[in-house]
């Protein structure tokens, strides 16, 4: 098995098209553009169907990286996994997190498992397959491929699986109807949840968290079925799933480690602290010698039963602001207070991603060695 070194860089942005921070690190030599494997970002759009800040950010990054890689902009998107999550409500701050991977020799005396990353793509889906068993099965296969790419054999070493998945549009629904098929829903907004949910169930199947005997009827209904490490985000800009597996591997000599916990609800501060503790950190101010927080990645959603710990919430009834925006703001504020920064990755819509109303939270720390 090859030995790799994984680097992680959190870079603030002034807008969806701002690539200056990344370019500065490339010019300085801190980042080799040829080593970039994935870029996850938070953009200041609405996180909905018409959030074009996600596509704008990817286009800007591809255009900037193309000459550095000797590729066309479309080819850059095929080489690097881009996952942009729209919505920086409350104190959440727009930023990107760049993951690099390169071959490396193991230093003498280095022991233990370190941060590793793997990537895979599913095939393109037909509109009528979104939110259904086909998407579950294909996602499960892609997760296993990404695990192998990361050099991870044990599912217990997987701490976060980020997926970018498609959504339905009127044109895509019409195309399915023209073939005599129906889609899981005709609502573009609702299709985001179906696609996220099916993708998350695919992660759970791949990691053995649940069985593989699932049908279309389980998506968005069997909320007792979920993954503790899945994070899925829907977008209009693709028709396949992009899968990024983050975990710890003995084949990695990274200066970083990752750990996770599961939030039972939107105010589960103890779980956030547990995630920080899993990488040797505590709540802010973080004074643990020899370790520094790089970023936190989490999912957020309004509890579908309309309550949090016995008290009613109104996120699902607000017709002015979508529930996902409420949830990102609430969970983002909670985590930011414990992490000591608003530059964290909190994505809305946690269907089958952790228990209903909760979600996974993962932390990456850099070690001094």
Can you say whether residue 227 is alpha, beta or left, with left for phi > 0 and alpha for psi between -120 and 50 degrees?
beta
Known binding residue 47? Answer is no
Catalytic residue among 42, 164, 228, 299: 164
Continuous segment of H or E residues that includes residue 97: strand 95-103
How many CA atoms within 13 Å lie on the side-chain side of 112? 11
Q: Please, are residues 129 and 266 in contact by the beta-carbon 8 Å criterion?
A: no
Known binding residue 310? Answer is no
Known binding residue 54? Answer is yes
Known binding residue 85? Answer is yes
Known binding residue 358? Answer is yes
Known binding residue 250? Answer is no
Report d(CA 91, CA 42) in Å as an integer.
12
Interstrand relation of 256-263 and 359-367 (parallel, antiparallel or unpaired): antiparallel
Known binding residue 202? Answer is no
Catalytic residue among 191, 231, 233, 252: 233
Known binding residue 328? Answer is yes
Q: Please, are residues 127 and 236 in contact by the beta-carbon 8 Å criterion?
A: no
Report d(CA 6, CA 295) in Å as an integer.
15
Q: Please, are residues 172 and 245 in contact by the beta-carbon 8 Å criterion?
A: no
Token output for 53: 């800040």
Q: Please, are residues 143 and 245 in contact by the beta-carbon 8 Å criterion?
A: yes
Q: Is residue 299 annotated as a catalytic residue, yes or no?
A: no
- The DSSP string of 294-337 is EEEEEEE---TTSEETTEE--TTT-SSS-HHHHHHHHHHHHHHH
Known binding residue 86? Answer is yes
Known binding residue 348? Answer is yes
Known binding residue 20? Answer is no
Q: Please, are residues 240 and 121 in contact by the beta-carbon 8 Å criterion?
A: yes
Can you say whether residue 360 is alpha, beta or left, with left for phi > 0 and alpha for psi between -120 and 50 degrees?
beta
Which of 158, 173, 178 has its CA nearest to residue 243? Answer: 158
**Long-range CB contacts for residues 101-104, cutoff 8 Å, separation at least 24:** 101/4, 101/5, 101/6, 101/7, 101/35, 101/37, 102/4, 102/5, 102/32, 102/35, 103/2, 103/3, 103/4, 103/5, 104/3, 104/4, 104/5, 104/253
Known binding residue 196? Answer is yes
Q: Binding site: which residues?
A: 54, 85-86, 196, 233-234, 301, 328, 347-348, 350, 353-355, 358
Output the known binding site for substrate: 54, 85-86, 196, 233-234, 328, 347-348
Query: Which residues participate in the annotated binding site for Mg(2+)?
Result: 301, 350, 353-355, 358
Which of the residues are catalytic?
A: 164, 233
């Amino acid at each position: 098995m090859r030995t790799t070194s994984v680097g992680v860089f959190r870079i603030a942005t002034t807008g969806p098209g701002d690539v200056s921070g990344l370019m500065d690190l490339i010019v300085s030599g801190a980042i080799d553009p040829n080593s970039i494997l994935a870029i996850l970002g938070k953009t200041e759009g609405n996180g909905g169907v018409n959030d074009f800040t996600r596509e704008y950010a990817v286009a800007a990054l591809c255009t900037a990286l193309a000459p550095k890689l000797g590729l066309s902009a479309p080819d850059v998107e095929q080489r690097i996994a881009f996952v942009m999550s729209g919505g920086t409500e409350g104190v959440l701050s727009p930023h990107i997190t760049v993951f690099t991977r390169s071959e490396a020799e193991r230093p003498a005396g280095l022991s233990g498992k370190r941060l590793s990353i793997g990537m895979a793509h599913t095939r393109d889906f037909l509109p009528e397959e979104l939110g259904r068993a086909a998407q579950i099965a294909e996602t499960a296969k892609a997760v296993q491929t990404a695990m192998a790419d990361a050099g991870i054999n044990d599912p217990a070493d997987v701490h976060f699986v980020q997926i970018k998945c498609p959504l339905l549009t009127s044109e895509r629904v019409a195309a399915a109807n023209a073939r005599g098929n129906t889609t899981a829903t005709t609502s573009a907004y609702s299709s985001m949840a179906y696609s996220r949910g099916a993708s998350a169930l695919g992660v759970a199947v791949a990691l053995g968290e649940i069985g593989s005997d699932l049908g279309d009827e389980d998506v968005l209904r069997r909320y007792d079925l979920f993954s503790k490490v899945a994070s899925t985000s829907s977008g209009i800009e693709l028709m396949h799933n992009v899968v990024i597996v983050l975990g710890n591997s003995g084949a990695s000599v990274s200066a970083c480690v990752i750990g996770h916990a599961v939030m039972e609800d939107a105010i589960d501060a103890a779980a956030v602290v547990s995630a920080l503790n899993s990488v040797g950190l505590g709540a802010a101010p973080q004074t643990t010698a020899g370790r520094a927080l790089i970023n936190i990645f989490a999912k957020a959603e309004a509890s579908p039963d309309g309550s949090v710990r016995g008290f009613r919430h109104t996120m699902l009834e607000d017709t002015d602001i979508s529930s996902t925006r409420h949830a990102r703001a609430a969970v983002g504020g909670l985590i930011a207070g414990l992490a000591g920064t608003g530059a964290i990755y909190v994505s809305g819509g946690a269907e089958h991603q952790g228990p209903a109303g909760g979600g996974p939270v993962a932390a990456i720390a850099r070690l001094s060695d």
